[in-house]
Amino acid sequence: MPAIAEKAQLSVATAYRYFPTLEELHKEYLHGVLVNLRDFSLGSPLHGKALFEDVVARHVKLLETYGPAMIQLRSREGFLTRLHRGDEVIGTLHEAWERPVREVIRELGLSEGLIEFALMFCNSHFDPREVDDLLKNRGGLSEAATIRMLVNAFYGALKGMAES
């Protein structure tokens, strides 16, 4: 917290007044990034795969800016547990991805009963650590090609989920 307070040009006492623990600060930081993605997703006029792919591209752009700090933030609980408990961060993540994922499920002709599992997979598949790793070690692929690979793998995973 002292290093963060210094970077923000605040006293440590002021930083602790707003964020009693480092975990609370991390949570608020992550939530702020997810609000940005949610607002982008909900405000998009696109539909189906076009919407999903646009949200994925926005997610990757946000990770270019905020990803290094987001990589450090990880819960010990799983996505579904946190979703059902009403976790604020996961709730915002759900709001950001639910419409795009649901529309892809429809466009692929899959059962909407997959939605929670599809969102859980989306959370892990587009994890900031993994996306960052892929972007840094993609073997000469462009950002657009990397996004295309991630998107196509997601579509394939949805089809695989439907088969099982």
Q: Which residues of 89-110 are buried (b: 16+ CB within 10 A; e: fewer)?
A: bbbbbbbbbbbbbbbbbeeeeb
Q: What is the tens place of the pLDDT at every residue in 38-51?
A: 999 999 999 999 99
pLDDT class for 36, splitting at 50, 70, 90?
very high
DSSP at 156:
H
Domain interval for residue 121: 22-163
| 139 assigned to some structural domain | yes
pLDDT higher than threshold 90 for residue 106: yes
What would the two tokens of residue 108 be? 């692929």
The pLDDT, as a whole number, for residue 114 is: 96
| 143 assigned to some structural domain | yes
| 12 assigned to some structural domain | no
| 117 assigned to some structural domain | yes
pLDDT higher than threshold 70 for residue 57: yes
Give the number of domains in the chain.
Answer: 1
Does the CA dihedral 37-111-125-89 come out positive or negative?
A: positive
| 5 assigned to some structural domain | no
pTM here is 0.84
| 7 assigned to some structural domain | no
pLDDT higher than threshold 80 for residue 131: yes
| 111 assigned to some structural domain | yes
| 58 assigned to some structural domain | yes
